[in-house]
Amino acid sequence: MKEPFLSAVPVIKRLESAGYEAYFVGGSVRDYLLGNKISDVDIATSATPDEVKAIFPKTVDIGIQHGTVLVLLKNNSYEITTFRTEGEYQDFRRPKEVSFIRNLNEDLMRRDFTMNAIAMDANGSIIDPFDGQTAIKERVIRTVGSPEERFREDALRMMRAVRFVSQLSFHIAGETLLALKKDAHLLDKIAVERKRAEFEKLLSGDNRKKAFRILLETQVFEYLPGLKNQELKIEKLLSYLCDSLNKKEMWALLLYCLELNQQDSEAFLRNWRLPVKEMKEIQDILLYAKQRLIKDWSRYDLYTAGSETIQSAEKLYLVLKGINDYDSVKYWLNTYDHLPIKQRSELAVTGSDIMAWREQAGGPWLKELLTRIEHAVLQDEVVNEKEKIKEWLKACSQKSEKNC
Ligand SMILES: Nc1ccn([C@@H]2O[C@H](COP(=O)(O)OP(=O)(O)OP(=O)(O)O)[C@@H](O)[C@H]2O)c(=O)n1
């Protein structure tokens, strides 16, 4: 056994010495068997949340109605969940009555896919009643038992299947795929936030295009915000070589393919309940990439976009143009790095300086003038030094005001 399981073994041992069963379960065991990077380890136990809390001095109730307690131990935290029956994976905002059981097998039986229904004990022995290891070897996503039953327990599992296609490059077993086609409509009832979490993992996976094809084939896309009746536009996305794009860039590519105007793009992202900051970043990426389709970056655009957006927008532009060479990203980032200023606060003059020089109270004119100075500094029309800018302004006002 290796990290992060090793550090978590004492947690399992403590539960065992208090008379309970406890195992590693879920994605961490799957990823371990796959040889992939393991994120968090999850532990399932026969102890109820109250019993877990009585054993460990530091705990946090993170989903107690679902039987989950977070245990804090030696700078690490572990999600410990009581063996559960159905209903447990539903929307956290609509808690359902959860019945706890004392049996690992029954807990595993209610999990989504056989690859996720494998447990490992503190000695590293694998408990695999549904042959998840074969599924992992064969790289197949197959529900534990009846797909209809598993999807009726939690329809989000259909999106999880598609996101695992993207993330793990597995394929979906025939019967499971048929159920996806039949039951896709059940996704209507699932909270957008949960759909978004899966969709974003899908957007970032290596096999994202295959996952999009399955969204189309199964009609799952019809039940995702803003994608109803957008089959042709989603197909357009499949024509791009987009593997190099990150999550935000993929959102921007999707917006591009959907051909939405600024206002509708915003509504689309809002319907997906994206945080406002991310919405703005995605819209900026799209805006500059579209601009880039028409012309080169101006120094002022580089300045207003900033390095992260430059990089993302240029990458998206290259994808849209079908160019598979990233030298231009480096070129524009380098140009950005050499700009004389990166933000207004770096200007050698402030609004107060200008008001004092002009003996005039502030107003819209001041904002305009500061923008004009920014342009001039960025274009090397004037050096970013207070005296130089003062002289430049004086020379300007001697000419027509328009020239400044
Ligand atoms: N709708 C769900 C969600 C989760 N699970 C079970 O709970 C485990 C943990 O779920 P989660 O952390 O959401 O996903 P992982 O499978 O761990 O995948 P990852 O951590 O890569 O997101 C899953 O492996 C699966 O056994 C389930 O059966 N049904």
pLDDT at 93: 44
CATH 1.10.246.80 fits 347-403, yes or no: yes
**Per-residue pLDDT at 385 exceeds 50:** yes
163 carries a ligand binding annotation: yes
Tell me where in the chain the CATH 1.10.246.80 domain(s) lie.
Answer: 347-403
Name the more confident of 396 and 14: 14
Mean pLDDT of the region 15-37: 95
pLDDT at 39: 83
CATH 1.10.10.10 fits 139-224, yes or no: no
For residue 280 the two structure tokens come to: 């703005």
Tell me where in the chain the CATH 1.20.58.560 domain(s) lie.
Answer: 243-339
**Per-residue pLDDT at 33 exceeds 90:** yes
Q: How far is the CA of 72 from the centre of ligand 1 (A)?
A: 21
111 carries a ligand binding annotation: yes
Tell me where in the chain the CATH 1.10.110.30 domain(s) lie.
Answer: 139-224
Q: Which residues contact 378 (CB under 8 A, 6 or more apart)?
A: 299, 300, 303, 339, 340, 341
Fold of 1-129: Beta Polymerase; domain 2 (3.30.460)
d(CA 149, CA 79): 26
Confirm if 107 and 98 have CB atoms less than 8 A apart: no
Measured between alpha carbons, how far is residue 58 from residues 20, 65, 78, 231 in Å? Answer: 19, 19, 11, 50
Tell me the whole-structure pTM to 2 decimals. Answer: 0.89
Atom 23 of ligand 1: nearest residue by CA position: 26
pLDDT at 66: 79
φ/ψ of residue 140, rounded to 5: -125, 140
**Per-residue pLDDT at 231 exceeds 60:** yes
Atom 9 of ligand 1: nearest residue by CA position: 26
Atom 3 of ligand 1: nearest residue by CA position: 89
- % of the chain with per-residue pLDDT over 90: 85
Fold of 243-339: Methane Monooxygenase Hydroxylase; Chain G, domain 1 (1.20.58)
- % of the chain with per-residue pLDDT over 70: 94
Tell me where in the chain the CATH 3.30.460.10 domain(s) lie.
Answer: 1-129
DSSP classification of residue 173: -
Atom 12 of ligand 1: nearest residue by CA position: 27
Measured between alpha carbons, how far is residue 262 from residues 27, 61, 95, 259, 280 in Å? Answer: 39, 41, 37, 10, 11
Measured between alpha carbons, how far is residue 312 from residues 244, 278, 290, 322 in Å? Answer: 10, 13, 12, 15
Confidence grade of residue 103 (pLDDT, cut at 50, 70, 90):
confident
Closest ligand 1 atom number to CA of residue 112:
28
For 178-195, how does the pLDDT look when each residue is reduced to its tens digit (9 = 90+)? 999 999 999 999 999 999
Atom 21 of ligand 1: nearest residue by CA position: 27
**Per-residue pLDDT at 94 exceeds 50:** no
For 308-338, how does the pLDDT look when each residue is reduced to its tens digit (9 = 90+)? 999 999 999 999 999 988 899 999 999 999 9
d(CA 110, CA 84): 8
Closest ligand 1 atom number to CA of residue 167:
21
Q: Residues lining ligand 1, CB < 6 A?
A: 26-27, 39, 42, 89, 111-112, 116-117, 154, 156-157, 160
Measured between alpha carbons, how far is residue 28 from residues 224, 306, 366 in Å? Answer: 28, 37, 58
pLDDT at 1: 81
For residue 103 the two structure tokens come to: 């049996």
Among the ranges given (199-208, 345-354, 393-402), the one the predictor scored with the smallest mean pLDDT: 393-402
